[in-house]
Structure 1
């Protein structure tokens, strides 16, 4: 079952960004993942804006693949740099429909 990693990042020090952007996508790919978007073009349609600098959306084949990526020693220095230079949260959702009314999604 596909899962989606959503990284919500508010940059506080941009020194880490170029190295992270140039290298982390390969580590994601090594775990079967791919970026669907990594954008700073964020438009709030409803509610209060998050104050987010960028949102990245990645697809992985499983939660285990996300965990393997997050715990990969090759990612450790980039994770530390991101954590030091931002306020960020990473959340994973699956491809289910909690209400079970969308016919092309599995019931969650």
Structure 2
């Protein structure tokens, strides 16, 4: 079953971004992930205002693939740099409909 990573990221510093993109792209692909969206072009339609600068959606082949990506030792320094240089929220969502 597919899983989706849905992220809201607002950089507080842009210093980490150039060193982040390449390794993140490589590791996402290594774990079978596919970027569906990485954009600042988004509009909030409902709820309390959330001013995230970027919305990112990654499709994973499984929960295990997403978790292995997040725990990959090669990703750790980049994750730490993103965490220190941004306000980030990351949700892992199972691709199913519990209300059907």
Q: TM-score w.r.t. structure 2 length? A: 0.93
Q: Are 2:7 and 2:56, in contact at CA under 8 Å, matched by a contact in 1?
A: yes
Separation (CA, whole Å) in 1 of partners of 2:56 and 2:11: 13
Counterpart of 2:26 in structure 1 is 26
Counterpart of 2:35 in structure 1 is 35
**Max Rg structure:** 1
- Which contiguous aligned blocks of 4+ residues in structure 1 show a shift greater than 6 angstroms? none
Counterpart of 1:7 in structure 2 is 7
Q: Compute the displacement of 1:21 (Å).
A: 1.7
Counterpart of 2:65 in structure 1 is 65
Separation (CA, whole Å) in 1 of partners of 2:42 and 2:48: 12
Q: Compute the displacement of 1:95 (Å).
A: 1.4
Separation (CA, whole Å) in 1 of partners of 2:86 and 2:16: 9
Q: Are 1:25 and 1:34, in contact at CA under 8 Å, matched by a contact in 2?
A: no
Q: Are 2:6 and 2:92, in contact at CA under 8 Å, matched by a contact in 1?
A: yes
* RCO higher in structure (CA 8 A, sep ≥6): 2
Q: CA RMSD in A?
A: 1.1
Identify which range, 37-46 or 26-35, moves more after superposition: 37-46
Q: Compute the displacement of 1:77 (Å).
A: 1.0
Q: TM-score w.r.t. structure 1 length? A: 0.87
